[in-house]
Amino acid sequence: MSLNELKKKLSIIYHDFLNVFNKEKTTQLSLHRSYDHKIELEDESQFFKSWLYFILSYKLQKIKEYLEENLKKKFIILSKASFASSILFVEKRDDSLCFCMNYWKLNALIKRDRYSILLIDKVLAWIQDSKYLTQLNIIITFNKLCMSTESENLITFVTFFDVYKYRVMLFKLINESAFFQHYINDVLFDCLHKFCQTYLNDILIYSKILKEHRTHVKEVLNKLHEVNLQINIDKCEFKIQKISCLELLMFINDLRMNS
């Protein structure tokens, strides 16, 4: 989406935050910081190896394309680890293939994070007296967080081309949801439970007065800008009175199934 197209979609009130809606920034590797994801194992002596298996030529081409794209982004680098996970493909609804890591062996060794995620009825309780709602959706949430350097080798994977490891946090790892929830709650700590609720990469902003609501949205956008998180403008809804969330329709004073 061009800058001019983005300006047309986004209210002029929020044009100071156009960079927060810039999808091109989602391909940039984040810097290491205190939020780097560290994997802790229950038993560090039980490492594992995965073996290559026969794969059709068109899938090999998909692997090569994936490697080239992520090497260019610096999301992955070569690994010399003595253990590795295998790869697999998941078929999407449109019959296309999704390239995935098979981390079931690793997940079996990882200590569970017990950080709690807010239940939907608790979210509803906070917004009941509000008149205006805005929903924001963060793009590629897990790729915006780096792995800690000591954990990178643990997410090594083997292909017919070479052995690689990730430098960014991955979906499908045990604890990724809890870790990201903890992260985004810290980022929005000053706003949380005052005029903002979060559920993973969805942010709900609620207010009683329109002028106040615009100020609240700007404050949240500024917080996201400070940590270089981007928003998907196509999945955002501004200044409305109902929101679809987790197969539910959330109104300012009601909750219904989205049938």
C-alpha span between 147 and 159 (Å, rounded)? 21
Distances in whole angstroms, Cα of residue 67 to Cα of each of 76, 80, 83 = 8, 17, 19
pLDDT tens track for 3-40: 788 888 888 998 999 988 888 777 777 777 777 888 88
C-alpha span between 76 and 165 (Å, rounded)? 6
Where in 95-231 does DSSP place strands (E)? 97-102, 132-137, 156-158, 163-166, 196-199, 202-207
φ, ψ (nearest 5 deg) of residue 137: -125, 120
Copy the structure tokens of residue 194.
């005052």
Query: Does the predicted TM-score (pTM) go above 0.85?
Result: no
Q: How confident is the model at residue 183 (pLDDT cuts 50, 70, 90)?
A: confident
Copy the structure tokens of residue 58.
């068109």
